[in-house]
Each structure stands twice: as C-alpha cells, then as structure tokens.
Amino acid sequence: MQKVIETLLIGLSTGSIYALMSIALVLVWRSTRVVNFAQAGQAMLSTYIGFEIASRSEIFWLGLVFAIAAGALVGAGVDYFFMRVLFKHATSGPAAVVAPVIATLGLLGLIRSIVGLTWGGEFRSIKAPASTDGFTVGDGTIPFSTLDVLIIATVSIILIALALLFQRTNLGLALRASAYAPEIAQLAGIRTARTRTIGWSIAGGVGGVAGMLVTSNNFLSPYSLDLLLVFGFIAAVIGGLESMAGSVIGALVLGIGLTFILNYVGTSLVFIGGFSVLILVLLIKPDGIMAKGKARRA
C-alpha cells in the first residue's frame, strides 16, 4: 500500500512537469495551429541560461526567474522574427501545409547546435534547491522528497497564475479570442499578431520552468529535454491539443501511469508505455478527453 501511495506522489510530481510542457504546446497550437517542436529547444536554451545564473549565484530560484525571462524572450523572438516571416512567404504550393511544422523542426536543430557549440555536450546538473532525500515514513524512507513538494507547489502556482490570467484579465480574453476566431477578434479591435506573440512568449516562459524543474533532479544536456517534449506532446494529445485543462489532466494521468510502470515493471518500458498510450488515445478517442463532439479542426 505504501508503495502505491509513494508511486502516486512521485507520479504527481513528474506529471506536473509534463503539464507545463504540454501547456506550452497547447498555447502555441491554439494560437498558431502549429505543434511547436522547437519548444524543447527553447526550453533547453532557457534552462541553460537559468543553469548559468543558478550555478554562478548558487540560488536556484534566481536561475528559475532568469529561465522564465529567457524563455519568454526566446518565445516572442521565435514568433516575431521567424513565424511571421514564414507565414508571409510560405503561402502556396505543395509545401505550404507542412512548412510550419518542418520549420519548427529546423529551429529545434538550430537551437540545439547553438547550445552545443556554446556549452558543449557534457552532462551538467544543477544543485537542487531542496533536499532530494526522501521523507522518513515509519522505519524507512520513501523516494518522495522535499524537492518533489517544491516542484508540485511551483507548478500549482504557475497553473493558478495562468488560469487567473486567462479567465480574469483582458489580456487573457484577447488571447482566447484571437485563438478561437482570429478574424472576429481582429474586427473587435484586438491586435491579433501582437497577441499571438504574447502567447508564444507565455508558452516560452512556461517551457523554461519545465526545463529547470526537470533538470533540478536530473542532468542537463543538449538532448535531455527531447523526452520531455514527447511526453508533453502525448499529454497534450490526451487532452485534445486544444484544452489547457485537458492537457493538465492528461499530463498528470500520464505522469502517474508512467511512474507506476517505472516502479512496478521497469525503466526500459517507460517509453514504450507512453508511446502505447499515445497510439491508444489516437485510435480510441482521437479528439482527446475534453472533446465535446466537435470535429477536429486542421
């Protein structure tokens, strides 16, 4: 019984990080209709910057703040300097449909190479902001640690902040409106292009947090965030790619499920488990758990 509970708790902590990544993907997908595979790269770049700050100042949270700022800047930059130019040029021909996706892939490669050339490929690790030793329960210790509590708390704060932003502010309304119906939003006086850039920068910031949190109890390398991207994508697909709430639920379910596989079956099956979930969702409920009978767009 104790093992079940500790698996649940660890899964919650893992899943909450996936939730951030999948929210970043959903935000961009809703506003731009592109699954931003470069998100892994953006998050990695911001994590490296946060890592530099954290290891120089020895304060993890300062690093986290810088990672958010860097992620937001990079996200806005990608949309402003890259996506806008792309959509201006690639409008016709057989490649027009696939160009944006391929472009984000190119961007992922570009950021990866730049990071590799700047920081090298060695594995690095951040000094965790809290103890990674498990809590003592009864006679033994469980793998659930102070760090996991901090991770869950940080993610909860960010999720609440995002929910408030989207539900209670004018900016949130503009973001939702221009994602839902860009033309009408524009007619209503919203600067949709600028709003989209803001959406990208929010996604970038959230991705930066995800990168830092994953790295806080793991190592960092130019490739270390690829799996996070994949699991974030799977979580977003479970939620239907459109719904932020759905993707958070999807991420928590995925995180808990994968942790159960990890604890009860073995490390090597984790990826296969996640991939099977993806295939199953695509086969059984391709619109995701939050679908309301509406056919999928795009």
Partner 1 sequence: MESWPRARPAVRKKIALFILLGWVLLIIGDRVDELRVYQGAQMAMYTIALASIVLLTGYSGQVSLGNGAMMAVGGYGAALTLNNLGSPIWFAFLMAVVCAALFGALLGTAAARLSGPYLAGTTLALAVGLPAIANQFKFLGGEPGLLFDVGFPPERFGEEFTQYKWFFWISTFIALIALFMTSNILSSRFGRTWRGIRGHSLAAELCGVHSSRMKILAFTVSSALAGLAGAVLAMNISLVAPGAYALSLSFALVTGAVLAGISSLPGVVFGAFILVAIPEIADALAGRLGDADKLNHYLPGLIVSILLILSVIYAPNGPGENLRKHLRKKPAR
CB of residue 231 to partner 1, shortest distance in Å: 9
- Closest separation in Å from C-beta 12 to partner 1: 23
Cβ atoms of 254 and 18 closer than 8 Å: yes
18 sits near partner 1 (criterion: CB under 8 A): no
| Residue 298 interacting with partner 1 (CB under 8 A) | yes
H/E stretch holding 138: none
Site string for partner 1, 198-227 (x = CB under 8 A): ------------------------x---xx
278 binds partner 1 (CB under 8 A): yes
Does residue 97 interact with partner 1 by CB under 8 A? yes
Of 94 and 293, CB closest to partner 1: 94
Considering only residues 22-81, where is the footprint of partner 1 by CB under 8 A?
Answer: 29, 34-35, 37
Q: How many CA atoms lie within 13 A of 31 on its CB side?
A: 30
> Distance between CA 18 and CA 129 in Å, rounded?
20
**Site size toward partner 1, by CB under 8 A:** 55
Alpha helices in the chain (DSSP H): 2-32, 39-57, 60-77, 84-89, 99-119, 146-168, 170-180, 182-187, 192-216, 226-238, 244-264, 269-284
Nearer to partner 1, 74 or 174 (CB): 74
CB closer to partner 1 out of 61 and 226: 226
Question: Would you count residue 110 as binding partner 1 (CB under 8 A)?
Answer: yes
Closer residue to partner 1, CB minimum distance, 51 or 233: 233
* Contact residues for 255 (Cβ-Cβ < 8 A; gap 6+): 11, 12, 13, 14, 15, 16, 17, 18, 19, 231
Of positions 5, 56, 58, 98, contacts partner 1 by CB under 8 A: 98
Q: Which is nearer to partner 1, 76 or 235 (CB)?
A: 235
Residue among 5 and 117 whose Cβ is closer to partner 1: 117
Q: Considering only CA atoms, which of 242, 83, 77, 248 is closest in space to residue 162?
A: 248
Question: Is 295 near partner 1 (CB under 8 A)?
Answer: no
Q: CB count, 10 Å around CB of 24?
A: 31
Determine contact, residues 240/30, Cβ cutoff 8 Å. Answer: no
Report d(CA 9, CA 293) in Å as an integer. Answer: 33
What x/- string results for residues 242 through 271 when contact with partner 1 is judged by CB under 8 A? --------------------------xxxx
Q: Does 274 bind partner 1 (CB under 8 A)?
A: yes
Tokens representing 24 are 């970043």
Give me the amino acid identity at 56: R
Instruction: Calculate the CA dihedral of residues 29, 35, 38, 40 and round it to 10 degrees.
Output: 90
293 sits near partner 1 (criterion: CB under 8 A): no
Q: Does 121 bind partner 1 (CB under 8 A)?
A: yes
Q: Where along the sequence are the contacts to partner 1 (CB under 8 A)?
A: 29, 34-35, 37, 82, 85-86, 89-90, 93-99, 101-103, 105-110, 112-114, 116-117, 120-121, 222, 226-227, 229-230, 233-234, 237, 241, 268-272, 274-275, 278-279, 282-283, 286, 296, 298
